[in-house]
Every structure is written in structure tokens, then in C-alpha cells.
């Protein structure tokens, strides 16, 4: 049997699909447990996670509040809503330099000091987790001089 390019491509595609199917078993359950990302105003999102927002910034392009949730969310977190996707991404990119753990939805973000905080919030709000820059190891490299 002679292998031609179309047959090689078909065989390669089948191999990729077979490998992808083997590796996804454990993650499918975790992904199914995350609800689709919530939407709405800052107050609506805060009500979803049962916190009373302490509004810090109330502008047209950005609304930001500090929330304190029950002990299961591990303390305080920042909740912010944005007028545009671009404004949200610019805010997140700037904020990541300060560290933290980010739960990101459509035109909103929740920022906690711990992974536990955003993981608990994600069970209600959905969204994707992003990590800020970890500066804790940078001091160790400078002290060796």
C-alpha cells in the first residue's frame, strides 16, 4: 500500500484526535462543574456571591468595590465591572504586575489574595482564572550578589 499525502494527513488527524481523547477524562468533570460566566452590574454580581460591595470607584468606564464574603471565600476581594472589553483587559494587564489571583468574566473581574478566594467565587460566577506576577522569588536572586 502506498501512502499519499492525503492519507498521511488523515492518519495524523486521527492520531491527534485519539491522543486528545485520552488526556481529557479527568478535566471534563471539573469543567462541567463551572457555570457559564455571570453577567450584570457590580451590585448584581456582588449579590450573586452574597456580599455587600463597598464602592471605591464609580465612573462610567469602571466601577470597583471591595467585597467581604463569608469565611468560605477566604476574606476580602475586589470586584470590578467595565464599560468595554478593552478597558477590562488593560486594567487586568496593569493589575497583574501587583500579583493576586484573577477571576475573569465578560466585562468583570474579581481579584483575591489567594487561589481559594477565586476558586470559591468561580463556583457561583463562572469565569476563567488568571494569575498575577509572583514577585516573591525576585528578592532571592538579588540577595546573592
Q: What is the fold of 40-129?
A: Phosphorylase Kinase; domain 1 (3.30.200)
Considering the entire predicted model, what is its pTM?
Answer: 0.70
- The pLDDT of residue 113 is 87
Do 57 and 63 contact (CB within 8 A), yes or no? yes
103-118: per-residue pLDDT in tens?
Answer: 999 999 999 988 899 9
What are the backbone angles phi and psi of residue 95, rounded to the nearest 5°? -70, -30
Q: What is the bridge-based pairing of β-strands 128-131 and 62-68?
A: unpaired
Q: What is the pLDDT of residues 51-90, one digit of tens each?
A: 889 999 999 999 999 998 755 556 789 999 999 999 999 9
CB 30: neighbour CB atoms within 10 A?
Answer: 8
Distance CA 23, CA 99 (A): 31
Name the grid cell of 46: 456582588
Amino acid at each position: 500500500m502506498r501512502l499519499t499525502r492525503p492519507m498521511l494527513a488523515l492518519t495524523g488527524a486521527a492520531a491527534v484526535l485519539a491522543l486528545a481523547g485520552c488526556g481529557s477524562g479527568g478535566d471534563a468533570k471539573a469543567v462541567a462543574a463551572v457555570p457559564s460566566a455571570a453577567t450584570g452590574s457590580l451590585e448584581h454580581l456582588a449579590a450573586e456571591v452574597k456580599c455587600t460591595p463597598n464602592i471605591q470607584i464609580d465612573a462610567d468606564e469602571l466601577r470597583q468595590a471591595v467585597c467581604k464574603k463569608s469565611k468560605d471565600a477566604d476574606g476580602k476581594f475586589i470586584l470590578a465591572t467595565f464599560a468595554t472589553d478593552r478597558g477590562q483587559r488593560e486594567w487586568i494587564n496593569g493589575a497583574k504586575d501587583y500579583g493576586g489571583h484573577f477571576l475573569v468574566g465578560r466585562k468583570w473581574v474579581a481579584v483575591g489574595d489567594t487561589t481559594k478566594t477565586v476558586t470559591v467565587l468561580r463556583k457561583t460566577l463562572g469565569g476563567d482564572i488568571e494569575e498575577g506576577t509572583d514577585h516573591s522569588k525576585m528578592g532571592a536572586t538579588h540577595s546573592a550578589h
